Amino acid sequence: MRIKNIISAFFVLCILSVNVYADSEKDAQIHAMLTAMDKAIENKDANTISQYLDDNIHIIMKVTMGDNEQVFKFDKKQYIKTLEDGWAVTEEYTYTRDKVAIEYIGNANKAVVTASVYELSVVAGRPMAALSHEKALIEFRNGDPIIVTLTANTNVRM
């Protein structure tokens, strides 16, 4: 009986280690995607960013500036155009993402990723700082991560 228990425990540990390995492999894929997107943002490369966004993505951004608050909703094409238009009028742009947290849902084929994003730039000669708290729903399709929804709460100071 004791040997049977040891074999059962060993089997359970093997199953759990496979799941941990799978999650760590998916974590690495998500972090690689975020790094590629961050580099693309720094380089103002909308085409690379577009590759990581689902064609039917839903993006909602709540932007607060002082006492004013506005909500923007974008599809993929609108979001990419907004990025390009914004980059065209900014100077000295810096972008940093940190506090990344990944939580798997369902059968671990989806993940909710949260992060803080800091942006500094000069717009029309005025310095601008923005802090965003982002939440993205990522699905794994054919083994690759893709963002299907993105929400951001952004505070802007000029």
Confidence check: pLDDT of 6 > 60: no
pLDDT of residue 8: 41
- How many other β-carbons are positioned within 10 Å of the β-carbon of residue 118? 13
Contact 81, 62 (CB under 8 A): no
pLDDT tens, position by position, 133-155: 999 999 999 999 999 999 999 99
Q: How sure is the predictor about 11, in pLDDT bands with cuts at 50, 70 and 90?
A: very low
Contact 122, 91 (CB under 8 A): yes
Contact 84, 74 (CB under 8 A): no
Q: What is the identity of the amino acid at 104?
A: Y
Q: How sure is the predictor about 23, in pLDDT bands with cuts at 50, 70 and 90?
A: low
Q: Tell which CATH architecture fits domain 2-157.
A: Roll (3.10)
Mean pLDDT, the chain, whole residue set: 88
Mean pLDDT of 37-65: 96
Residue closest to 95 by CA, chosen among 124, 64, 118: 118
Q: What tokens does 88 get?
A: 């065209």
Please tell me the distance from the alpha carbon of residue 36 to that of residue 34, in angstroms, as a whole number.
5
Please tell me the distance from the alpha carbon of residue 12 to that of residue 4, in angstroms, as a whole number.
12
Whether the predicted model's global pTM rises above the 0.75 cut: yes
